[in-house]
Amino acid sequence: MLVLEKNAMTEEIEELVKKYGNSRSSLLPILQDIQRKHKNVSDFAQQEVARVLDIHPVEVYSVISFYSFLNTKPKGRNIVRLCQTITCDLSGKASVAKAIERELGIKFGETTKDNKITLEYVNCLGMCDQGPALLVNERVYAKVSPEKAIQILNEIK
């Protein structure tokens, strides 16, 4: 089973190299395609991309860590992002974060076991005069109190 999965990923990467070419500039579009299809770029996929493009795996990993739209682990179906920039920080971000973490039993940067929710910090969401700001999937919430955060979570749970 594992061998079949490995072969499928290798074949897929070889197809992407045919599509984009085998130069270094193909690295990003190849990773984007893998991310789009699998919702993450696994360790094995990273190694295979490095092997097929004849570059060091560290180079592949550093591109993934640079771009926030690429990740090495699958994310939850809902992404809850709390603004960590200074104005939201000063208007109570920490207590909102604490309430969310307590409610879900996970820390920011983690995903719930049922894969429903991933918590992430983000930088300014453009709602600085109405912080703390929370982005749930595509929707922005302003002036989020710990109680309001729990209410929002209950709507998506």
Q: Which residues bind ligand FES (CB under 6 A)?
A: 83, 85, 87-88, 124-128, 131, 133
Identity of the residue, 127 or 136, whose beta carbon is nearer to ligand FES in the bound complex: 127
CA distance 145 to 89: 12
What minimum distance in Å lies between the beta carbon of 106 and ligand FES? 22
Exposure string for 6-36, b = 16+ CB within 10 A, e = fewer: eeebbebbeebbeebeeeeebbeebbbbbbe
What minimum distance in Å lies between the beta carbon of 128 and ligand FES? 3
Identity of the residue, 32 or 130, whose beta carbon is nearer to ligand FES in the bound complex: 130
Tell the burial category of 125 from Cβ atoms under 10 Å away from its Cβ (0-12, 13-18, 19+): buried
Identity of the residue, 76 or 131, whose beta carbon is nearer to ligand FES in the bound complex: 131
Residue 147 CB neighbour total at 10 angstroms:
10
What minimum distance in Å lies between the beta carbon of 87 and ligand FES? 4
What minimum distance in Å lies between the beta carbon of 110 and ligand FES? 21
Identity of the residue, 13 or 132, whose beta carbon is nearer to ligand FES in the bound complex: 132
What minimum distance in Å lies between the beta carbon of 119 and ligand FES? 16
The alpha carbon torsion through 89, 72, 74, 134 (nearest 10 deg) reads 10
DSSP letter (8 states) at residue 91: T
How do beta strands 117-122 and 134-136 pair? unpaired
Identity of the residue, 55 or 152, whose beta carbon is nearer to ligand FES in the bound complex: 152
